[in-house]
Amino acid sequence: MSSSHSVLSNILAPLFLVLATFTVLFTALPFAEALQVSPASYTVIDTQMDHSYAVQVTNDQTYPVRVTFQAEDDAVQLRLPAQLELSAGETRSVVFGVQAAQVEPGYHETRVLIESRAEGEATVRASAAVAHVVRVRIPLEGTHLEASLHFSAASVGEPILFTVPLENIGTQRVDVAHVTLTINGELLEAPAMSLLPGERKNIVVSWTPPEARTYPLLVQVEYGEQSISLDSEVVVGHLSARIVGAKPGAFALGELFGITVLVNNEWGAVLPVHVVAKIAQGSIIHSGESTTVLAPAASTVQIPVYLASNDLKPGLANISLEAHYGQRVSTEEYEAVVSISSIKLLGEGVESESETSWNLQVSRTYIALVLALIVVAACAIYIRKHYKRRS
| Contact partners, residue 35, CB within 8 Å, separation at least 6 | 57, 58, 59, 60, 61, 65, 67, 114, 115, 116, 128, 129, 130
| Contact partners, residue 170, CB within 8 Å, separation at least 6 | 139, 140, 141, 142, 143, 144, 145, 197
CA angle 35, 41, 46 (to 5 degrees): 160
- Domain spans in the chain, listed from the N-terminal domain onward: 2-28+365-390, 36-138, 145-237, 241-360
Q: What radius of gyration, in Å, describes the C-alpha atoms of the chain? A: 30
Q: Which of 246, 242, 312, 241 is nearest to 277 (CA)?
A: 246
Distance CA 47, CA 325 (A): 40
Distance CA 277, CA 259 (A): 8
Strands 154-155 vs 226-237: parallel, antiparallel or unpaired: parallel
Q: Indicate the SS3 state at residue 162.
A: strand
Distance CA 214, CA 209 (A): 10
Q: Give yes or no for a cis peptide into 39 (omega within 30° of 0).
A: yes
**Third-level CATH fold of 241-360:** Immunoglobulin-like (2.60.40)
CATH H superfamily, domain 145-237: Immunoglobulins (2.60.40.10)
| Contact partners, residue 283, CB within 8 Å, separation at least 6 | none
Phi–psi pair at 379, nearest 5 degrees? -65, -35
Distance CA 335, CA 347 (A): 8
| Contact partners, residue 138, CB within 8 Å, separation at least 6 | 46, 47, 48, 100, 103, 104, 105, 106, 108
Distance CA 136, CA 367 (A): 52
Q: What is the pTM of this model?
A: 0.47
Structure confidence at residue 183 (pLDDT): 93
Structure confidence at residue 62 (pLDDT): 78
Is it true that 36-138 and 241-360 share their CATH fold? yes
CA angle 227, 232, 237 (to 5 degrees): 150
Q: 237 with 189: CB under 8 angstroms?
A: no
Phi–psi pair at 160, nearest 5 degrees? -110, 135
CATH number for the domain whose boundaries are 36-138: 2.60.40.10
CA angle 287, 253, 33 (to 5 degrees): 65
- CA separation, residue 93 to residues 39, 55, 60 (Å): 11, 6, 15
Distance CA 350, CA 346 (A): 8
List per-block mean pLDDT (blocks of 10 residues) for the chain, which spans 391 residues.
51 52 44 70 75 88 86 86 89 88 79 80 55 84 90 80 91 91 90 89 91 89 92 81 86 79 81 89 86 78 83 87 86 88 70 33 51 73 66 57
